[in-house]
Amino acid sequence: MGTIVLFTPLKLFDPMLKKRDDFEDILEERRTSSDLRYALRCYTPVLYKGVTPCKTSVLKSMVLQSDQLHYVINQVSKESGRAADDVREEASAILEEMAHSLQLSTVRFFAFMLSKVFKTLFRSICVNEEGIQRLQQAIQEHPVVLLPSHRSYMDFLLMSYILYTYDVALPVIAAGMDFMGMKFVGEMLRMSGAFFIRRSFGGDKLYWSVFSEYVKTMLKNGYAPVEFFLEGTRSRTSKSLTPKLGLLNIVMDPFLKGEVFDVNVVPVSISYERILEESLYARELLGVPKPKESTSGLFKARKVLSEDYGSIHVYFGQPVSVRSLAEGRVNRCQFNLVPRHIPRRPSEEIQSFVNDSAYRLVRAQEENMVLKPWVLLASLLLQNHHQNRAAGQKPGMALDELTTQAVWLRDVSRQYGAFLHWPDHTSPSEVVSSGLSLHRALVRVCEGRVQLAVEQEEELLSQAVVVLSCASYRNQMLHVFVRPALLASAIHIASSNQKRKTDVFNSFSFLRNMFSSEFILCPGATVQDFEEACYLLVKTGVLQVTQQEVLVTERGHRTLAFLTSMLDPFLQGYQVVCRFLCEEDTETLTEKQFIPAVRKFIVNHLLAGRLRYAEVLSSDLQKNALAALQRLGAVRKIKGYLVKIQHFLTQL
């Protein structure tokens, strides 16, 4: 990388230019009027081009009679030597197991029940009404795909609840098969619009074919918006997960093949002030296995009902036209020469297009995630926790110090484009104490000092639960800072005072590449990300960037320090994983055994005081680190065993 040319109009990066809609609390009305009447009210959503909803049985027979399925059934029958009718039976059974059976009565039941539950759990559910109107419009014009972020089991019930409230067409939702385990609940969810897919069906052509045809039939005809989670599963860390491409491929296919004029994709950002599964997730990451979903387990979870979970913000983003995404990117003529119903592996062009689109969509989700003041507090407290521990100081920080720092961070994060919900007409100290009180399970205030609810004498794992929970809130703001933080770390690494721009860029590029499974960083956009980071840090007066050099300003050190310590746990974590692979005998290590082994290694390091970040115990981080090392060529997987490429590892 000789010279770095700025080719993107810088204005694009300017987060201050982002306009966001206002919110409206939908629970407010629920608290004042009858839930029963609400559940029984007239519900007449408008569908795509005025089509009438289609009966489940009709939908199923459309799928079974489709050309694509027909073709695959014959193919499977020929390859396996089974009778075509036999294969068709199987397809029909797969469809039976998969298909939703949306019923308005069930929706009404949920509307009633959820009203009750939501009112006890949450202070408010805030929705941007303009977003709903845009969605309403989009549904009438094009087939629509809803892509909510996924942080909680709550998500899809919440989505349907909101859409029912606003008289918008109810979506059909792709759900993991694990829900089916809960007998009664599974069926209830099915009747409220969920359809169930197996977690993995790698080579099963027939399954894939039934599944994709089912989704496409619903989408193409506009019978219902299709909803799924781009991240594939709930994020246990509150960071967005690397998007999964399977379903996105399927829903883009009808457009690419010309079967519909366009498909609109609507990213939806659901932000919870306090996540229901908070400590559950932390335990899971620490290796305490998650309980299997079961109906009785759900009842045991009743006690969550007695707690206060603050508010939820749901932001329906700008509908994204797949047509405009594909404009100039995809040559649709590639489908001209083979009948469209014959399934084919997507071309490289399509794969990279879908991948890039997926990243864009996840970033669109991230951008509209509402951050509560507590997120800032969690970040500050975590940093303080680790610094104090390292320095052997008294734990915690003074309340007014925390408030001052929070106000500073508030201003910084706004400059970086965070969608921060900081009540403007309340004094900062009140804001801080209200944030602390909602999360009293994680922090302790005593004698005017605030600290994480971690007792030194406690067991390491229980300490880690608190740290990881806090980290999950800090993670909510990572997407705002990740690019500047990578740049800050890159500058930090460039040891000398003279920071040559190319050196900084190279370090940036290395770090970015290493962390590309950890954070949402669009593949191939290194230069853009670098420019964006430079732009933000220059704009906020942290850096001066000339043709050759990068200079840190006097007042920039504070921000830079904050940013580097934000990334530090990840850097340390990756280093430890590296060290583990270097030092330990991994000859006989399978991928499955990797996590427990590395965990043991890390525990020892933590206990010995060689590592201060308990959050490194997160299996998520460990997996990502391993993936990064594989990507960088330091580790290779051969027949399920991990083989290290020694000289690479030592270099790292």
Partner 1 sequence: MASNSSGGGSSDRQGIAQQRLRIIAGHLRGPVDGDSTILAAECKAQGSNTDVSSEGKTVPRRRQEIMKWNGWGYSDSRFLFNKKGQAEFTGKRYRLSGMIIPGLKDWFEGTFGANLQHKTPPTPLLTNTAVPPATLNEAFVEEVKSTGIPFSHDAEDRVFRAHGHCLHEIFALREGKIGRVPDMVVWPSCHNDVVKIVQLACKHNVCLMPYGGGTSVSSALECPPEETRSIVSLDTSQMNRILWIDEKNLTAHVEAGIVGQDLERLLNESGYCTGHEPDSMEFSSLGGWVATRASGMKKNIYGNIEDLVVHIKMVTPQGVIEKSCQGPRMSTGPDIHHFIMGSEGTLGVVTEVTMKIRPMPEYQKYGSVVFPNFEQGVACLREVAKQRCAPASIRLMDNEQFKFGHALKPQVSSIFTSFLDGLKKFYITKFKGFDPNHLCVATLLFEGNREKVLQHEKQVYDIAAKFGGLAAGEDNGQRGYMLTFVIAYLRDLGMDYYVIGESFETSVPWDRVLDICRNVKARIIRECKDKGVQFPPLSTCRVTQTYDAGACVYFYFAFNYRGLSDPVHVYEQVEHAAREEILANGGSLSHHHGVGKLRKEWMRDTISNVGMGMLKSVKDYVDPNNIFGNRNLL
List the one residue from 297, 339, 524, 541 that touches partner 1 (CB under 8 A): 339
Angstrom distance (rounded) from CA 416 to CA 438: 26
Measured from the CB of residue 291, what is the shortest distance to partner 1 in angstroms? 48
Q: Which of 223, 419 has the CB closer to partner 1?
A: 223
What are the angstrom distances between the C-alpha of 136 and each of 22, 123, 165? 17, 26, 13
Q: Which stretch binds partner 1 (CB under 8 A): 266-274, 329-337, 358-366, 622-630?
A: 329-337
Answer yes or no whether residue 349 interacts with partner 1 by CB under 8 A.
Answer: no
- Residue 525 backbone phi and psi in degrees, to 5: -105, 30
With contacts defined by CB under 8 A, how many residues of the chain interact with partner 1? 11
For the sheet with 449-452, list strands across it: 397-398, 449-452, 443-446
Q: Which of 340, 389 has the CB closer to partner 1?
A: 340
Measured from the CB of residue 351, what is the shortest distance to partner 1 in angstroms? 19
CA dihedral 539→540→541→545, nearest 10 degrees, is -40
Name every residue whose Cβ is closer than 8 Å to that of residue 193 and which is 6 or more positions away in sequence.
Answer: 100, 102, 107, 160, 170, 171, 172, 173, 224
Angstrom distance (rounded) from CA 545 to CA 499: 10
List the one residue from 18, 78, 329, 332 that touches partner 1 (CB under 8 A): 332
DSSP-based three-state secondary structure for 148: strand
Angstrom distance (rounded) from CA 628 to CA 630: 5
Answer yes or no whether residue 344 interacts with partner 1 by CB under 8 A.
Answer: no
Angstrom distance (rounded) from CA 108 to CA 101: 14
Mask of contacts with partner 1, 241-260, x by CB under 8 A? -----------------xx-
Upper half-sphere CA count for residue 310 (Cβ side, 13 Å)? 21
Where does 239-343 show beta strands of DSSP type E?
Answer: 264-272, 311-316, 320-321
Q: Which of 330, 614 has the CB closer to partner 1?
A: 330
Angstrom distance (rounded) from CA 227 to CA 400: 45
Measured from the CB of residue 249, what is the shortest distance to partner 1 in angstroms? 19
Measured from the CB of residue 46, what is the shortest distance to partner 1 in angstroms? 17
Q: Which of 87, 322 has the CB closer to partner 1?
A: 322
Answer yes or no whether residue 261 interacts with partner 1 by CB under 8 A.
Answer: yes
Measured from the CB of residue 96, what is the shortest distance to partner 1 in angstroms? 29
Looking at residues 602 to 631 of the shown chain, list those that interact with partner 1 (rule: CB under 8 A).
none
Q: Which of 339, 423 has the CB closer to partner 1?
A: 339
List the one residue from 70, 340, 421, 612 that touches partner 1 (CB under 8 A): 340
Measured from the CB of residue 348, what is the shortest distance to partner 1 in angstroms? 19
Answer yes or no whether residue 600 interacts with partner 1 by CB under 8 A.
Answer: no
Where does 504-601 show beta strands of DSSP type E?
Answer: 543-545, 550-552
Angstrom distance (rounded) from CA 489 to CA 476: 20
Q: Which of 335, 408 has the CB closer to partner 1?
A: 335
Q: Which of 258, 423 has the CB closer to partner 1?
A: 258
Pairing of strands 443-446, 124-127: unpaired
> What single-letter DSSP state applies at residue 590?
B
Q: Which stretch binds partner 1 (CB under 8 A): 171-179, 327-335, 409-417, 435-443?
A: 327-335
Q: Which stretch binds partner 1 (CB under 8 A): 26-34, 328-336, 476-484, 586-594?
A: 328-336
Measured from the CB of residue 202, what is the shortest distance to partner 1 in angstroms? 30
Percentage helix, strand, coil, to 5, in the chain?
55, 10, 35
Answer yes or no whether residue 336 interacts with partner 1 by CB under 8 A.
Answer: yes
Q: Which of 65, 331 has the CB closer to partner 1?
A: 331
Q: Which of 332, 631 has the CB closer to partner 1?
A: 332
- Cα angle 403, 409, 412 (rounded to 5 degrees) comes to 150
CB 92 within 8 A of CB 64: yes
Q: Which of 93, 261 has the CB closer to partner 1?
A: 261
Q: Which of 71, 641 has the CB closer to partner 1?
A: 71
Give the distance from CA 584 to its chain's centroid.
33
Measured from the CB of residue 45, what is the shortest distance to partner 1 in angstroms? 21
H-assigned helices in 124-257: 129-141, 154-165, 183-191, 205-221, 246-256
β-bridge mates for residue 174, sequence order: 195
Give the number of other Cβ atoms within 10 Å of residue 647's Cβ.
8
List the one residue from 112, 335, 408, 510 that touches partner 1 (CB under 8 A): 335
Q: Which of 332, 636 has the CB closer to partner 1?
A: 332
List the one residue from 17, 42, 333, 608 that touches partner 1 (CB under 8 A): 333
CB 618 within 8 A of CB 469: no
DSSP-based three-state secondary structure for 230: coil
Measured from the CB of residue 48, what is the shortest distance to partner 1 in angstroms? 13
Instruction: Characterize 311-345 residue by residue with b for buried, 16 or more Cβ atoms within 10 angstroms of its Cβ, and e for exposed.
Output: bbbbbbbbbbbbbebbeeebeeeebeeeebeebee
Q: Which of 151, 220 has the CB closer to partner 1?
A: 220
Q: Token pair of 370, please?
A: 């509402």
Measured from the CB of residue 320, what is the shortest distance to partner 1 in angstroms? 16
Measured from the CB of residue 566, what is the shortest distance to partner 1 in angstroms? 43
Pairing of strands 194-197, 635-638: unpaired
Mask of contacts with partner 1, 279-318, x by CB under 8 A? ----------------------------------------
Q: Which of 232, 319 has the CB closer to partner 1?
A: 319
Q: Which stretch binds partner 1 (CB under 8 A): 77-85, 208-216, 326-334, 373-381?
A: 326-334
Q: Which stretch binds partner 1 (CB under 8 A): 332-340, 538-546, 583-591, 603-611?
A: 332-340
Measured from the CB of residue 47, what is the shortest distance to partner 1 in angstroms? 16
Name every residue whose Cβ is closer than 8 Å to that of residue 162 and which is 6 or more positions away in sequence.
Answer: 26, 125, 127, 132, 314
H-assigned helices in 439-477: 460-475
Q: Which of 9, 328 has the CB closer to partner 1?
A: 328
Q: Which of 116, 261 has the CB closer to partner 1?
A: 261
- Which residues of the shown chain bind partner 1 in the complex (CB under 8 A)? 258-259, 261-262, 331-333, 335-336, 339-340
